[in-house]
Amino acid sequence: MDINTKELKKNAFRVTKVRGVTSSRVRVPGGLLKAEYLGKIQKIAERYGNGTVNLTSRQGFEIPGIPFEKMPEVNRELQTIIDGTGINQTGRARGEGYPAAGTRNVSACVGNRVCPYACYDTTALAQKIDKVIFPDDLHVKIVLTGCPNDCQKVRMGDIGIMGMTEPRLDPERCVSCGACIRACRSKSVDALEKVHFRPERDSYKCIGCGECVNACPNLAWTRSPEKYFRITLLGRTGKKNPRMGVDFIKWADEDSVIRIIRNTYEYVRHYINPDSPGGKEHIGYIVDRTGTEEYLRWALKDVHLPDIAEVYTPLNWGGIEYAHNKYFGNQRYHADGTIVTDFSEKTR
Partner 1 sequence: MGYVASREQFGKLFSYWKKEYDIWAPKRFPGGGRFSDTDAVRYAVVQEPDEIEFEVKSAYSWKETVLPPSETLFYFAQNHVEEAMPPLRKRLVFLRSCDLEAVRRMDQIYMKNGDPDYYYARKRDNLAFVMIGCPASCENGFCVSMGTNAADQYDMSIDAADGEFRLDSRRDDWSAVLAAAGAAELDVKPCRVSENKVQVRVPENLTFEVGKSSMWDQYDSRCINCGRCNFVCPTCTCFSMQDMYYDAGGKVGERRRVQASCMVDGYTDVAGGASYRKKNGERMRFKTLHKVLDFKERFGYQMCVGCGRCDDICPEYISFSNIINHLEEGMKEVQDHDSSK
Piece of 6-14, 214-222, 285-293, 310-318 that binds partner 1 (CB under 8 A):
214-222
Q: Which residues pair with 341 in a beta bridge?
A: none
Is 171 a residue that touches partner 1 (CB under 8 A)?
yes
Question: What is the rounded distance in angstroms from the CA atom of residue 151 to the CA atom of residue 145?
Answer: 7
Binding residues for partner 1 restricted to 275-314, rule: CB under 8 A:
none
> Which value, to the nearest 10 degrees, does the dihedral of the CA atoms of residues 23, 28, 29, 30 take?
-120
Helix (H) or strand (E) holding 67: strand 61-67
Piece of 59-67, 173-181, 295-303, 308-316 that binds partner 1 (CB under 8 A):
173-181
DSSP 8-state class, residue 195: E
Q: Which of 87, 109, 140, 220 binds partner 1 (CB under 8 A)?
A: 220
Is 165 a residue that touches partner 1 (CB under 8 A)?
yes
Is 126 a residue that touches partner 1 (CB under 8 A)?
no
CB within 8 A of 259, min separation 6: which ones? 302, 303
Give me the least distance between CB of 194 and partner 1, in Å please. 11
Q: Which of 57, 218, 273, 313 binds partner 1 (CB under 8 A)?
A: 218
- What single-letter amino acid sits at 329? G
Binding residues for partner 1 restricted to 227-256, rule: CB under 8 A:
227
Contact between residue 295 and residue 303 where contact means Cβ atoms under 8 Å apart: no
Q: Which of 225, 274, 314, 318 binds partner 1 (CB under 8 A)?
A: 225
Q: Which of 151, 174, 300, 311 binds partner 1 (CB under 8 A)?
A: 174
DSSP 223-288: E-SS-EEEEEE--B-SSS--B--EEEEEEE-HHHHHHHHHHHHHHHHHHS-TTSGGG---HHHHHH
Nearest to 170 by CA among 192, 199, 205: 199
Piece of 12-20, 34-42, 174-182, 246-254 that binds partner 1 (CB under 8 A):
174-182
Is 181 a residue that touches partner 1 (CB under 8 A)?
no
Q: Which of 62, 77, 121, 253 binds partner 1 (CB under 8 A)?
A: 121
Crossing angle for the helix pair 254-271 and 122-133, to the nearest 10 degrees: 30
Give me the least distance between CB of 112 and partner 1, in Å please. 4
Piece of 50-58, 62-70, 119-127, 234-242 that binds partner 1 (CB under 8 A):
119-127
Is 119 a residue that touches partner 1 (CB under 8 A)?
yes
Is 110 a residue that touches partner 1 (CB under 8 A)?
no
Give me the least distance between CB of 117 and partner 1, in Å please. 8
Q: Is the bond preceding 64 in cis, omega lying within 30 degrees of 0?
A: no
Nearest to 256 by CA among 216, 319, 304: 304
Q: Which chain residues interact with partner 1 by CB under 8 A? A: 112, 116, 118-121, 146, 163, 165, 171-179, 196-197, 210, 213-220, 222-223, 225, 227
